[in-house]
Chain A
Amino acid sequence: MKAIVYTRYGPPDVLELKQVQKPIPKENEILVKVKATTVTVADIRSRSFTVPPAFWLPARITLGLRKPKKGILGMELAGEVELVGKNVKRFKQGDQVFAASLTGFGAYAEYKCLEEDGPVAIKPSNITYGEAAAIPIGARTALYFLRRTGVKSGQSV
């Protein structure tokens, strides 16, 4: 399959279109044919390795010390389920889904395997794949924090 790969940290030009192995879903995973993904600030930072000095070492250990561990960026996606692992119950072939791959990255590719019980759900029916791909990171984060505040109707935000 085709994917956007980066083998060193640096400017946008480090991203290259390459041929890579198509992933095979494990028993608890689904294989999604990616229809859309996004460019988030997290992708930009992971590519260029711009992090605050205090985070340099932990971030470098997480992302890869000498070169990126996960060669394919992309943290959110929308697409169609092509195959399901044998223990998968929530999804079937042909389902239209949207998902966050988070620090697993890997959405800048034709296919991505996702764990069935991770942040993946059936895509809203009234929007395109492109729009659905834009929801998982931003809207999940906003929702999570707003719920933690316990914000109520009529309050000033």
Chain B
Amino acid sequence: MELVKSLGADNVIDYTVEDFSSTDETYDVIFEAVNKSSFSACMKLLKNNGTYINVTEPLPSVEMLWTKLTSSKRLLLSRNSPETSEALNFLKELVEMGKLKVVVDRYYSLDEIVEAHRYVEKGHKIGNVVINMEHTHLI
């Protein structure tokens, strides 16, 4: 909770104690990053003309197609971002201005890659898992 607030979130809902869909708050944008919340619950909370983003789901479900046809809500599904340096240059500026913070959960060395993969596979990483080559003792 504190970590997410330190990154700049105004309100944080702890999903282990509160169901985000049980509040009467509505949103202009809902960003589904890990595909864990139900689409219908998200639609209930999304304002008309609002945008629902799901970065991991490339194919629309029947329910999504129906929403597209029958409402003014916009759905953006998984798609590859452009393969250019423009975004990276912009992100560099944000980091240097202190507006974008990088969260690293754990560091491993290259020879610990199997453990690093085991850890990420559990699905509970908080932020990024980095492999530091400089701390690697190669054979």
Contacts and interface: CB of A to CB of B under 8 A. Distances in A.
Interface of A: 2, 4, 12-13, 15, 17, 34-41, 43-44, 47-48, 54, 74, 79, 90, 98-100, 102, 108, 110, 117-127, 129-136, 138-146, 148-149, 151, 155-157
Contact of B87 (A37, A119, A134, A149): A119
B95 interface: yes
Interface size class of B (residues with CB under 8 A): 35 or more
Interface in B36-61: 47, 51, 53, 55, 59
B28 to A, nearest CB: 4
Nearest to B105: A134
Classify the interface of chain A: helix, strand, loop or mixed. mixed
B12 to A, nearest CB: 13
A141 B55 contact: yes
Interface in B5-30: 25-30
B72 interface: no
B26 A36 contact: no
A95 B118 CA distance: 33
A108 B113 contact: yes
Given A13-B114, A17-B139, A148-B76, A121 B133 contact: no
Contacts, number: 171
Classify the interface of chain B: helix, strand, loop or mixed. mixed
B90 interface: yes
Contacts of A125: 96
A119 B29 contact: no
Given A140-B87, A141-B55, A15 B29 contact: no
B72 to A, nearest CB: 14
Given A15-B113, A99-B88, A134-B102, A149 B131 contact: no
Q: Point out which of B89, B110, B120 has the most chain A C-beta atoms below 10 A from its C-beta.
A: B110
Interface string B113-132: 11111111100000111111
A145 B130 contact: no
B89 A121 contact: yes
The 3 A-B residue pairs with the shortest CB-CB distance, nearest first, are A134-B128, A144-B81, A121-B88
A73 to B, nearest CB: 9
B111 A126 contact: no
Nearest to B108: A39
